Amino acid sequence: MKLTNICHTYDGQPILRGIDLQVDPGECIGIIGPSGSGKSTLLQILGLLKRPDVGLIELEGRELLAASEEERRLLRLNEIGFVFQQAHLVPYLTVREQLELVQAESESKQDPLHLLDVLGLSHRLNQLPKHLSGGERQRVAVARALINRPQLLLADEPTASLDFENGRRVMELLVAEARNHGRRVLVITHDERMLDVCDRVLLLQDGQLQPSPRH
């Protein structure tokens, strides 16, 4: 995946100032930066949830920002997995049904039971979100993002509501997905204890991405 000159403003203020980035298959990149620096905006642009003012995003030879709304929807379903800061689960569906709903329109053959077992949720298969802890809901959201084997996986603070053990489990799963299956993974996090598993750590500051001087 290649980003070229991604620029975005909000209320007339520049947020992203010419972002250039190459993400190779099998690579996991951590993105850090102060609050309000545009990290979530960048991920929303990469996830085709928001359009930048200018710039290009290329994935497997395709220019994604030129896609129609229907093409963008299918890309989000089949090729882009997104873990939001909030889980956004469907309140009337069980844990297993959350994953099956996303699978329904896809050709993915990923086994939801295996994913939930890896994330320590196999005993919660038939529970509704209201019966899950915040950390359990977030892990379901991670499984949902992975279920269709996306080429690009975007995670916005995926461990924020997790204790260290479960946060580490999630990060190691994301890294394994990258390295074992050639996915591209970008993770925004404030938890620096999780950054050592990333291949690169980048700092978003003053609208620009640069290597983090501390990692």
Is residue 71 predicted with pLDDT exceeding 80? Answer: yes
Is residue 109 predicted with pLDDT exceeding 80? Answer: no
- Name the residue with tokens 């642009």: 45
31 vs 195: CA distance, rounded Å: 9
pLDDT in tens, 81-108: 999 888 889 999 999 999 988 886 666 5
pLDDT value at residue 103: 81
pLDDT category at 124 given cuts 50, 70, 90 is very high
Is residue 197 predicted with pLDDT exceeding 80? Answer: yes
Q: Backbone phi, then psi, for 202, in 5-degree steps?
A: -115, 145
95 vs 105: CA distance, rounded Å: 18
pLDDT category at 15 given cuts 50, 70, 90 is very high
Q: Sheet containing 80-83: give its strands across.
A: 80-83, 152-156, 184-188, 28-32, 200-205, 208-211
Tell me the pLDDT of the chain averaged across its residues: 90
Longest dimension (CA), the chain: 49
Where do the domains of the chain lie, and which CATH numbers do they carry?
24-50+68-211 (3.40.50.300)
pLDDT value at residue 182: 92
pLDDT value at residue 136: 92
Percent of the chain at pLDDT > 90 equals: 57
Q: Decide: 170 and 153 in contact? Cβ < 8 Å.
A: no
The first and second tokens of residue 183, run together, are: 């996915």
Number of other CB atoms surrounding residue 191 within 10 Å: 18
pLDDT value at residue 107: 62
Q: Decide: 75 and 46 in contact? Cβ < 8 Å.
A: no
Taking residues 62-83, what's their average pLDDT?
A: 89
Percent of the chain at pLDDT > 70 equals: 96
Highest mean pLDDT of the ranges 123-127, 158-162, 167-171: 123-127
The first and second tokens of residue 120, run together, are: 């320590």
Number of other CB atoms surrounding residue 85 within 10 Å: 15
29: closest CA among 155, 164, 198, 175?
A: 198
